[in-house]
A = this chain, B = another copy of it.
Amino acid sequence: MQDARDPRTESPPNRSKPRSRRLPREVRERQILDAAVQVFARHGYHEAAMDEISEVAEISKPMIYAYLGSKEELFVACIRREANRLIESISGAVDADLPPDEQLWRGLRAFFEYAQQNRASWTVLHRQASTQGPPFAAELSAWRRRALDLVTTLLSRADGTEEDRQVRHEQMQPFAAALVGAGESMVDWWIEHPEHTADALSMRLMNLVWMGFGDMVQGRRWKPD
């Protein structure tokens, strides 16, 4: 914390390293995005007012425009940041050295926990982004592709066959699409049935995709270690 060197006599810092004066800007941008996600989730893109975002963020409107651009650009920045957060929290939960079922279980749990603890983020990503039509379609399909790619990679690891990695990755794509859609749809259902826990939802999806109905109807269940 304490640096005895006199900055005035210090040699110039490495140019690629962000200067400390940029920090306030990063903090402000984070405040703006946090506020915007809340407001977009609450009202939807069209009804959300920059005035309310400015109020919640406690940052003036001209400064919001200067930092993050128009309302449209702000919405795109929200989708991008929230998609990163969700994808990082899933991939961070999954350790490639674990057995495949344990990887899948941890990934599913991270997903449902994210959706529970970051409801506004999920609403913006899943509902607001998809209902706002053409201007955001590119950003939306980019994030869905990344989600699909993450799940495809996770599933490819679970497939113990000796096939070529590329072929395996491709074969896993429709399964990954199924799993992504299953998760999204279960969260929609969950929002109307909030009495269930993230663990209970993860366990159901885990049983569906790991055990399958064929085992479930005969009473066989998957259980974590």
Binding site for B on A (CB under 8 A): 44, 46, 100-101, 104, 130-133, 148, 155, 158-161, 173-175, 177-186, 188-190, 193, 196, 201, 204-205, 207-219, 222
Q: How far is the CA of A213 from the CA of B218 in the complex (A)?
A: 17
Are B178 and A185 neighbours in the complex by a CB distance under 8 Å? yes
Given contacts A159-B217, A208-B212, 4 further A-B contacts (CB under 8 A): A130-B131, A177-B189, A181-B182, A214-B215
Which B residues lie within 8 Å of A217 (CB)? Answer: 100, 158-161
Which B residues lie within 8 Å of A132 (CB)? Answer: 131
Q: How far is the CA of A70 from the CA of B155 in the complex (A)?
A: 48
Are A178 and B204 neighbours in the complex by a CB distance under 8 Å? yes
Q: How far is the CA of A205 from the CA of B175 in the complex (A)?
A: 7
**Residues of A contacting B: mostly:** helix
A106, chain B: closest CB distance, angstroms: 14
Which one of B104, B193, B213 lies within 8 Å of A158 (CB-CB)? B213
Which one of B46, B131, B178, B204 lies within 8 Å of A174 (CB-CB)? B204
> Can you pick out 11 interface pairs between chain A and chain B where the beta carbons lie within 8 Å of each other?
A148-B189, A161-B217, A161-B219, A174-B190, A174-B196, A174-B205, A175-B204, A175-B213, A177-B186, A180-B185, A211-B212
Which one of B131, B188, B215 lies within 8 Å of A212 (CB-CB)? B215
Q: How far is the CA of A179 from the CA of B181 in the complex (A)?
A: 8
Which one of B100, B131, B148, B184 lies within 8 Å of A181 (CB-CB)? B184
A150, chain B: closest CB distance, angstroms: 14
Q: How far is the CA of A176 from the CA of B198 in the complex (A)?
A: 17
A117, chain B: closest CB distance, angstroms: 19
Q: How far is the CA of A184 from the CA of B144 in the complex (A)?
A: 14
